[in-house]
């Protein structure tokens, strides 16, 4: 299934009739503040985790407030499509990518892949558009046993442990998206 990445200048777009498949949490959902704090504490102490990745502004800020700096953070400086106050991300090497709502662009995927392969820096990717679907390439590209955390709107935090089965699940969701030419966004 290695060929599920990009072909030439193609981007993935989520059709309206497929959105229902993307609403369920991909893995464990934690709703209570104390449970979320406990999970973050466990993650921060586990040195066997190759990468800690956050997708979303609130979950990234939650980890930073707990003194846990993710290896890769993907944000769009919005919460539920409303602009939020800019945070101090000086701990990170900063990258930017365009990724319109309901899509996964080649540029964003490439930045995620690049960031995951770097071992010496903490990287934050600021997305122009929306970062929600970028959890899929984060799971697909991350090493096994990495932790990917993202927000489940109005519910809590989802903790994904990257396994062969989870990568397969992310690839199956990706197959529900449609490939379009990159210049659709130009």
Region 145-170: mean pLDDT is 96
> Residue 173's closest CA among 143, 136, 132, 130?
136
Give yes or no for a contact between 130 and 79, defined as CB atoms under 8 angstroms apart. Answer: no
Q: Is the pLDDT of residue 81 over 80?
A: no
Assigned domain for 9 exists: no
Residue 164 pLDDT class (50, 70, 90 cuts): very high
Q: Is the pLDDT of residue 124 over 80?
A: yes
Q: What is the pLDDT of residue 186?
A: 43
> Residue 53's closest CA among 101, 115, 4?
115
Region 66-77: mean pLDDT is 94
Q: What is the pLDDT of residue 2?
A: 42
Please tell me the distance from the alpha carbon of residue 7 to that of residue 151, in angstroms, as a whole number.
Answer: 29
Assigned domain for 13 exists: no
Please tell me the distance from the alpha carbon of residue 149 to that of residue 161, in angstroms, as a whole number.
Answer: 9
Assigned domain for 10 exists: no
Please tell me the distance from the alpha carbon of residue 171 to that of residue 125, in angstroms, as a whole number.
Answer: 22
Region 55-76: mean pLDDT is 94
Q: Is the pLDDT of residue 46 over 60?
A: yes
> Residue 186's closest CA among 105, 92, 78, 69?
105
Assigned domain for 100 exists: yes
Q: What is the pLDDT of residue 120?
A: 83
DSSP for 114-128 reads HHHH--S--EEEEEE
Q: Looking at the 3D structure of the chain, how many domains does it have? A: 1
Residue 78 pLDDT class (50, 70, 90 cuts): confident
Region 70-99: mean pLDDT is 84
Region 4-10: mean pLDDT is 55
Please tell me the distance from the alpha carbon of residue 6 to that of residue 4, in angstroms, as a whole number.
Answer: 7
Residue 36, Cβ neighbours under 10 Å: how many?
19
Assigned domain for 171 exists: yes
Which of these ranges, 73-82, 94-103, 145-154, has the smallest mean pLDDT? 73-82
Which of these ranges, 4-8, 18-22, 150-154, has the smallest mean pLDDT? 4-8
Residues spanned by the domain of 118: 26-81+89-179
Assigned domain for 5 exists: no
Please tell me the distance from the alpha carbon of residue 23 to that of residue 183, in angstroms, as a whole number.
Answer: 28
Average pLDDT, rounded, for the chain: 90
Assigned domain for 135 exists: yes
Assigned domain for 156 exists: yes
> Positive or negative CA dihedral for 104, 106, 111, 113?
positive
């Amino acid at each position: 299934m290695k060929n599920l990445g990009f072909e030439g200048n193609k981007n993935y777009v989520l059709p309206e009739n497929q959105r229902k498949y993307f609403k369920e949490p991909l893995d464990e959902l934690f709703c209570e503040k104390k449970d979320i704090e406990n999970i973050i504490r466990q993650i921060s102490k586990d040195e066997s985790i190759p990468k800690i990745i956050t997708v979303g502004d609130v979950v990234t800020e939650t980890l930073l407030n707990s003194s846990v700096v993710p290896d890769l953070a993907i944000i769009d400086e919005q919460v539920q499509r409303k602009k939020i106050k800019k945070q101090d991300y000086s701990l990170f090497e900063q990258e930017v990518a365009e990724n319109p709502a309901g899509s996964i662009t080649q540029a964003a995927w490439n930045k995620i892949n690049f960031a995951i392969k770097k071992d010496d820096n903490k990287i934050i990717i600021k997305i122009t558009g929306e970062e929600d679907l970028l959890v899929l390439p984060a799971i697909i590209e991350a090493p096994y046993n990495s932790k990917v955390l993202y927000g489940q709107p109005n519910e809590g935090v989802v903790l994904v442990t990257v396994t062969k089965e989870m990568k397969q699940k992310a690839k199956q969701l990706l197959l529900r998206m449609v490939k379009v030419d990159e210049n659709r966004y130009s």
